[in-house]
A = this chain, B = another copy of it.
């Protein structure tokens, strides 16, 4: 099976419509129809049932869609990483990605410790919006990532745990609830005049709800000082909490685990070294 065939198949499966898929692929409809039919012949499997409105996946087609997407991502990742190591011009280098804003002290410690290693290579740090680290690791734009359980999807990666912490509620300093010694998540999310902000989805859109749309951390902290919102965050943010804000521990929020993750089996020596120093921190 060629990646071209797979790309065609995925396009048709996603559109449920050969014509639209062809348009998306920048080609005419008949060759696409033929390519799909040929793929079906070669696999010995019907991938679609043809309906008057378009096409629908068979169960074999659903399997190929699931598996094919990850296969395509793997090919794409191979290509990207190859281009990158070539661009580095023989001198090895590693791209590390992390969420913009948080755990800067941990990152600094890691980068310092690694730079002191005898066989250290250059580390490019790429800060990306929350939730995008795993994507970048999967498609080859990054080699290692710092990410967070249970928020990020870690499936398919190897990883080491770097830190475990509780979560706290950040709210305006003067607010009545700020005097409480602790709170539950249910209580925190139902404070009448303090809605929790909404986090953007992977595609940049926002879920519906009452809270403000969260853009960056300083903006939301500003909103909290103004008495307009509250937010649940890992307790390490205490370090960056200045006046005007109060912190209340949450008793039943899930623990947040900071991990360093990397794609399995692509253990370049540089990545291995970085992971080794990370796990010694």
Point out residues on A near B: beta carbons under 8 Å. Answer: 1-4, 6, 43-47, 58-64, 66-71, 74-75, 77-79, 81-88, 90, 92, 140, 155-158, 263-268
Contacts and interface: CB of A to CB of B under 8 A. Distances in A.
Interface centre among A60, A92, A263, by most chain B C-beta atoms within 10 angstroms, is: A60
- Copies of this chain present: 2
A79 B64 CA distance: 7
Contact of A6 (B78, B84, B263): B78
Nearest to A267: B66
Contacts of A6: 75, 78
A75 B70 CA distance: 8
Contacts of A77: 67, 71
Given A71-B75, A156-B265, A63 B82 contact: yes
A2 B78 CA distance: 12
A2 B58 CA distance: 25
A60 B75 contact: no
B4 A2 contact: yes
Given A1-B3, A43-B86, A155-B264, 6 more contacts: A58-B86, A60-B83, A63-B78, A67-B77, A70-B265, A155-B265
A240 to B, nearest CB: 34
Given A158-B155, A265-B156, A67 B92 contact: no
Nearest to A73: B74
26 contacts: A1-B3, A2-B2, A2-B3, A3-B3, A6-B78, A44-B83, A45-B82, A45-B83, A45-B87, A59-B90, A60-B83, A61-B82, A63-B81, A63-B82, A64-B81, A66-B265, A66-B267, A66-B268, A67-B74, A67-B81, A68-B78, A71-B75, A71-B77, A74-B74, A75-B75, A156-B263
B58 A90 contact: yes
A128 B31 CA distance: 42
Nearest to A68: B78
B71 A268 contact: no
A221 B75 CA distance: 46
Given A45-B83, A59-B85, A59-B92, A75 B158 contact: no
B82 A74 contact: no
Nearest to A1: B79
A66 B266 contact: yes
A43 B83 contact: yes
A45 to B, nearest CB: 3
